[in-house]
Structure 1
Amino acid sequence: MAFLACDQLKSIGFSELGNNVLISDKASIYNPENIKIGSNVRIDDYCVLSAGDGGIFIGNYVHIAVFSLLIGAGSIHLDDFSGLSSRVAVYSSNDDYSGGSLTNPTVPDQFKRVKVSNVYIGKHVIIGSGAVVLPGVTINKGAAVGSLSLVVKDCQEFKIYSGVPAKPIKNRSRNIENLEKELLSLS
């Protein structure tokens, strides 16, 4: 995997850009002026970040794995130490599927009903491969979402979720908070 050089990253035009940021030269970035990226961030091959007016906010120590998607008109916020495994899709807007309106971006807005709602992915959240997060969801601190899950409702702190739709299946260890403190004390 080839990462963009520092001068290439700066030329993209992000709203904010931290230190030690690795973005694949195969990632696609749309509306970078609406994207803020913290430090110690890695975005892998074939990821798509398409920021709407709400923007995309990526904290520190965040990994977005290969083929992941962050897209929508609302805001998408990934807090510190969060991670998206491969093929995770996060949507902050979504067409109405009921048939009461037309769908897709080629149709004028007056013929569509699009739900736009912010998504928040909290500190220490991990989302497994192939999971989908829909608009309006908050995944609170320390929650984990299993692979191939569909997240349609908020997730509680330090719970592990799985399924379609995602439901809590057990508690998650809070030891990651101690490990965070240990890591941050080294700097």
Structure 2
Amino acid sequence: MWLLGYVPLHWFRRLVFTLAGVKLGQKSTIHIGCRFYEPKNVLIGEGTIIGDHATLDGRAPITIGNHVDMASEVMIFNSQHDIDSEGFDPIEKPVTIEDYVFVGPRAIILPGVTIGKGAVIAAAAVVTKDVPAMTVVGGVPAREIRKRNVRELNYRLGRFRLFQ
């Protein structure tokens, strides 16, 4: 199925991912090269952009809100191994990304994280814990940089281009 993510026709990728079980809101865009593990557990809101070559784990629920801008090569994982378990048992936890979040290129979001409305995740940040609304975080592990200086978010996303 990952190969179908490379078809340069947006409408076809949208159809294939929807048939595979991704719940995809109106005017949302999945750019080329995205990978989903267990797509049936992925819910993407309206007007959201999933950047090229993103990875969405989906072994536990992933909920992405409306008008979220997820840049290129972002990885969202919601399954990891318990390193203190003799059986190296899996631990699966949901990930929630609320409305109007921006996730920068190559950021990694780990299991059990909730990212609040309007938060910004800097490029290459590794998010290991919840991010409050309207907070800018960055680094490894991600730490608060500052709060956003905006009261109301009302922009609309949903653009797509042929080879994106």
Same fold (TM over 0.5): yes
* Alignment match of 1:129 (pick from 102, 105, 118): 105
Q: Name which one, 1 or 2, has greater alpha-carbon Rg.
A: 1
- Residue 67 of structure 2 corresponds to which residue in structure 1? 81
The alpha-carbon deviation at position 174 of structure 1 amounts to: 2.6
Written as runs of structure 1 = structure 2, the 5 A alignment for 1:47-126 is 47-51=34-38, 55-98=41-84, 100-101=85-86, 111-126=87-102
Query: How many Å separate the matches in 2 of 1:142 and 1:155?
Result: 10
Q: Give the gaps of 5 or more residues in structure 1.
A: 16-31, 102-110
Residues 1:45 and 2:21 aligned together: no
- Residue 2 of structure 1 corresponds to which residue in structure 2? 8
The alpha-carbon deviation at position 124 of structure 1 amounts to: 0.4
The alpha-carbon deviation at position 51 of structure 1 amounts to: 2.2
Residue 79 and residue 113 in structure 1: after superposition, are their counterparts in 2 closer, same or farther (change >3 A)? same
Q: How many residues end up aligned between the 2 structures?
A: 151
The SS at the match of 2:153 is helix
Query: How many Å separate the matches in 2 of 1:37 and 1:142?
Result: 20
What do residues 36-65 of structure 1 show as CA deviations (whole Å, max 9, x unaligned)? 000111111111022266x10000111111
Please tell me the root mean square deviation across aligned C-alpha atoms, in Å. 2.3
The SS at the match of 1:161 is strand
Q: Which has the higher contact order (CA 8 A, sep 6+)?
A: 2
Runs of 4+ in 1 over 6 A off after TM superposition: none
Query: How many Å separate the matches in 2 of 1:97 and 1:138?
Result: 23
Residue 157 and residue 3 in structure 1: after superposition, are their counterparts in 2 closer, same or farther (change >3 A)? same
Q: Give the conservation status (yes or no) of the 8 Å contact 1:72–1:116.
A: no
Residue 59 and residue 52 in structure 1: after superposition, are their counterparts in 2 closer, same or farther (change >3 A)? closer
- Residue 149 of structure 1 corresponds to which residue in structure 2? 125
Query: With structure 1 as the length reference, what TM-score do the two structures score?
Result: 0.72
Query: How many Å separate the matches in 2 of 1:59 and 1:52?
Result: 14
Q: Give the gaps of 5 or more residues in structure 2.
A: 1-6, 158-164
**Structure showing the higher strand proportion among its residues:** 1
**Counterpart of 1:47 in structure 2: which amino acid?**
C
Query: How many Å separate the matches in 2 of 1:4 and 1:178?
Result: 25
